[in-house]
Amino acid sequence: MELLPHLQVVPPEPKALVPRTPEPLSASLPAAAPPPPSGIADFWHLIWNRKWTVLSAAFLCGLAAFLLTLPQTPVYQAQTSLEIQGVNDNFLHMSDVSPNADLYSTEGYVQTQADVLESKLLVRRAAEKAKFKERFHSDSLLSRLMPTVFASSGNIGESTLKEIYKRLKVRTAPPTRLIRIVFDAPDPRLAADFANALATEYVNQAMEARFADGQNTIELLSRQMEDLKVRLREDEERLQNYTRSEGLTYLADSKGSVAEERLRQLETEYSKAQTDRITRESEYQVAIAGDKAALPRVQDSQRLAETQKTLSALRGQLAELSRALTPQHYKVQRLQAEIHELESELASGQGAIVGRIRNEDNEASLREKMLAEAYQEQKQVVADEAQKGVQYDLLRHEVETDRTLYDSMLQKVREAGIASAVRTSNVRVIDVAEPPARPYKPDIILNSALGGLSGLLLGVMFACAGEKHDRLVRRPGEARILANARELGVVPMLRGATPDVSDSVRSMLPSLIFLGAAKGGPRMIVVSSAAANEGKTTILRNLGDTLAEVAGRVLIVDADVHRPRLDALYGISNFWGLNNILCDTYPIEDYPVEALAVETSNGLFVLPSGQRTDNSAELIYSERLARLLKRLRREFDIILIDTPPLLETPEARVIGRLADGVILVVRSGQTSAEALGACTSHLQDDGAVLLGTVLNGWSSKNSPYNYRGRRKASA
């Protein structure tokens, strides 16, 4: 019959399907989900399988280290500690004298001193002081081993220095100012003596260098001071000659010339004369314009005051007589004569005072005029001297500068002489080296232990390298560790090359049912593998047949559009299938159930891949696939989807995201650990759920149990 009006393909009429609501696969089964395995157990299993390789490498390396340590000469190590202190540069103002004063506080100063300790000069002097060559030469074994170094006696040569530098270590400990001198020698006393000798020579050299710096400073300053003394004498003579030739006269206190001092005096006197003239002039103007009797000088005159008093008394008497006598009376006339005489005397006295005021005014004006003329003349003299004073000031400044430098340099020379006489050092010995009680190398126990540990690590590397060389999944449990997922089942290989699939799939069924039982279990499962020919389609077919017996309606979808096989396995037509539905434009919800699958047996339905088109690979990315899978969930209880190998095509990864989970089929002896890890990473990156793995084609001949679980009979 015709399925859809627009379809031209009429597949064989399947049995009628009655849609029903699917039930959970494990609604009544308890949950049992073992935790994922740990990688430590797999690593320990790898080491245990190759334990003899690891132990042999550890034993051989430890034995080699022991044998190599036995003939070595014991070496003793002595250490001396020094502290580099900051020099008191303020002592006698040495910071102003020494050119190296600021070097003691620089960051690289301690490291510089460490390099100085390794200089050939110090090392040679320390070796001579400790008699290194003679004492080292006394060791007959070393003398035989190094005849070129100790063949001749005498001074320390280059070959001896090379041997010393091999044994000498100078270490710093930033940010401290400590320096440690470490020296190795076969003789403990020699090791301590050389370290102490090097420290002593370094301290002595530091003191000698500081003393030499002081002496050099004194010598340099003395030469410069002599030159400065000669120059000072020449400058003073040049200043005196110029002063005499120009007729300049300067005060001894260097406050200026005589002309300048005379100008300042005239200026002061001229200012006073101006003030005095104004005072006199104002007083004279008041005297000639006002009442003379009211003048201060008139009132201050005692004689005029007595005359005025007598005059006032006579006038009083005249007034009394005038009331009693006539003006012609002799007494009245006599009083009037006396009064007239006194008035004349009073007027004469007042006129004399006014005359003195006029004379003082004239004198003040004349004095002001004369001082003004003298001041102008002196200003001209000072101006003439000022032009000559420019050169004079330059010469005098040179003399003063040279004299100041000479005095300062003389003071520094005296301070440097005292400071150099005090021989100080900024190096202090903290710990003096003592002969060590036991050698620090070779340590037989430590070397043997390190050798054994190195051998152990080497053995582990060999074991890992051997395991990497054989990185195929072979035994049950390996895929579980590598994929960090459950191993749902194992399909053993029986009777040569024939896998016992049916019984193995039945034993795998509980593991699949228990997956997520609390949440209803997975209903849409993708079955894939890493590569081709690993048995995924066979496992999927047997799993579908088994589930159809216990789980209701089961649908198998052939999504392997590149190599479809389910149509041939079930003997159905591949004319209509998944590709046709995805290419069609008819609504998914309007398809009848008969167009979605073909029933092959009771409860088992198959959706073949269908005819392949040019864009079959792109159809999996369409939204139509998601709608189809959603429709299939409503029609069937369990959906198994066969996809191409996961690492070869994208179908398994795309459909795996839409399904409830993915089962990976692993072929024993064929699937590599790298391929399995790549599949796991891809699924994890895509957000798909890896339900577990199935080991296919496992050879059980080396197992103590046969495929039925019965223990093999012992020989």
In tens, the pLDDT along 539-558 reads 999 999 888 888 789 999 99
Q: How confident is the model at residue 237 (pLDDT cuts 50, 70, 90)?
A: confident
CB 142, CB 136: distance < 8 Å: yes
* pLDDT above 70 coverage of the chain, percent: 76
For residue 169, what pLDDT is reported? 93
Those residues with Cβ within 8 angstroms of residue 337's Cβ, 6 or more apart along the chain or in another chain: none
For residue 85, what pLDDT is reported? 80
Residue 196 or residue 304, greater confidence: 196
User: Can you tell me the distance from the alpha carbon of 547 to that of 687, in angstroms, rounded to the nearest whole number?
Assistant: 26
pLDDT tens column, 60-110? 888 888 888 777 788 889 999 999 886 655 545 555 555 555 545 556 888
Find the mean pLDDT for residues 241-264: 67
3-state SS assignment for residue 526: strand
Q: How confident is the model at residue 499 (pLDDT cuts 50, 70, 90)?
A: low
CB 183, CB 78: distance < 8 Å: yes
Nearest to 91 by CA among 392, 525, 323, 422: 422
Most confident by average pLDDT, 243-257, 452-466, 530-544: 530-544
For residue 68, what pLDDT is reported? 85
Nearest to 509 by CA among 538, 547, 536: 547
User: Can you tell me the distance from the alpha carbon of 616 to that of 586, in angstroms, rounded to the nearest whole number?
Assistant: 17
For residue 246, what pLDDT is reported? 67
In this structure, which amino acid lies at residue 96? Answer: D
User: Can you tell me the distance from the alpha carbon of 575 to that of 609, in angstroms, rounded to the nearest whole number?
Assistant: 9
CB 343, CB 311: distance < 8 Å: yes
pLDDT tens column, 166-203? 999 999 988 888 999 999 988 899 999 999 999 999 98
Element (H, E) at 323: helix 302-324
For the cut 90, the answer to whether the pLDDT of residue 332 exceeds it is no
Sheet strand arrangement including 427-431: 168-172, 178-185, 76-84, 427-431
Lowest mean pLDDT among 91-95, 293-297, 326-330: 91-95
Lowest mean pLDDT among 47-51, 599-603, 676-680, 708-712: 708-712
For residue 290, what pLDDT is reported? 63
For residue 294 the two structure tokens come to 């009211």
Lowest mean pLDDT among 305-309, 364-368, 598-602: 305-309
For residue 249, what pLDDT is reported? 61
Distances, alpha carbon 218 to alpha carbons 94, 151, 401, 683, in Å: 12, 47, 22, 86
For residue 12, what pLDDT is reported? 37
CB 695, CB 487: distance < 8 Å: yes
CB 298, CB 352: distance < 8 Å: no
User: Can you tell me the distance from the alpha carbon of 509 to that of 517, in angstroms, rounded to the nearest whole number?
Assistant: 13
Nearest to 654 by CA among 582, 555, 704, 709: 582
User: Can you tell me the distance from the alpha carbon of 100 to that of 89, in angstroms, rounded to the nearest whole number?
Assistant: 10
Residue 374 or residue 18, greater confidence: 374
For residue 42, what pLDDT is reported? 62
Lowest mean pLDDT among 29-33, 50-54, 391-395: 29-33
pLDDT tens column, 579-630? 999 998 899 999 998 889 999 988 899 999 988 877 766 788 889 999 999 9
For the cut 60, the answer to whether the pLDDT of residue 712 exceeds it is no
For the cut 50, the answer to whether the pLDDT of residue 128 exceeds it is yes
User: Can you tell me the distance from the alpha carbon of 15 to that of 189, in angstroms, rounded to the nearest whole number?
Assistant: 106
CB 459, CB 54: distance < 8 Å: yes
User: What is the separation of C-alpha 120 from the centre of its chain, rounded to a whole number of angstroms?
Assistant: 38
CB 471, CB 673: distance < 8 Å: yes
Residue 219 or residue 643, greater confidence: 643
For the cut 60, the answer to whether the pLDDT of residue 4 exceeds it is no
| Pairing outcome for strands 427-431 and 76-84 | antiparallel
Find the mean pLDDT for residues 299-308: 71
Q: Is the dihedral of CA 543, 548, 550, 552 positive or negative?
A: positive
pLDDT tens column, 564-582? 999 999 999 999 999 999 9
For the cut 50, the answer to whether the pLDDT of residue 700 exceeds it is yes
For residue 5, what pLDDT is reported? 34
Nearest to 320 by CA among 334, 332, 337, 338: 332
For the cut 60, the answer to whether the pLDDT of residue 31 exceeds it is no
Q: How confident is the model at residue 465 (pLDDT cuts 50, 70, 90)?
A: low
Alpha helix positions (H), 551-692: 566-570, 578-583, 623-635, 651-658, 673-686
User: Can you tell me the distance from the alpha carbon of 519 to that of 27, in angstroms, rounded to the nearest whole number?
Assistant: 9
User: What is the separation of C-alpha 261 from the centre of its chain, rounded to a whole number of angstroms?
Assistant: 71
pLDDT tens column, 506-525? 777 777 766 654 456 788 99
For the cut 70, the answer to whether the pLDDT of residue 254 exceeds it is no
For residue 223 the two structure tokens come to 């030469």
Q: Is the dihedral of CA 62, 64, 70, 72 positive or negative?
A: negative
For residue 426 the two structure tokens come to 């900024």
CB 523, CB 638: distance < 8 Å: yes
- The residues that bridge with 529 in the sheet, in sequence order, are 665
Residue at token pair 């030499």 = 212
Q: How confident is the model at residue 3 (pLDDT cuts 50, 70, 90)?
A: very low
Residue 421 or residue 671, greater confidence: 671
Q: Calculate the average pLDDT of the chain.
A: 77
Identify the DSSP state of 105: G
For the cut 90, the answer to whether the pLDDT of residue 292 exceeds it is no
Residue 707 or residue 418, greater confidence: 418
Element (H, E) at 662: strand 661-667
CB 321, CB 331: distance < 8 Å: yes
Element (H, E) at 114: helix 109-117
Q: Is the dihedral of CA 424, 430, 436, 440 positive or negative?
A: negative
Three-state SS sequence of 11-76? CCCCCCCCCCCCCCCCCCCCCCCCCCCCHHHHHHHHHHHCHHHHHHHHHHHHHHHHHHHCCCCCEE
pTM tops 0.85: no
For the cut 80, the answer to whether the pLDDT of residue 701 exceeds it is no
User: Can you tell me the distance from the alpha carbon of 86 to that of 425, in angstroms, rounded to the nearest whole number?
Assistant: 10
User: What is the separation of C-alpha 439 from the centre of its chain, rounded to a whole number of angstroms?
Assistant: 42
Pick left, alpha or beta for residue 332 (phi over 0 → left; psi -120 to 50 → alpha; otherwise beta): alpha
- Cis preceding-peptide flag for 442 (omega within 30 of 0): yes
- The residues that bridge with 598 in the sheet, in sequence order, are 606
3-state SS assignment for residue 108: coil
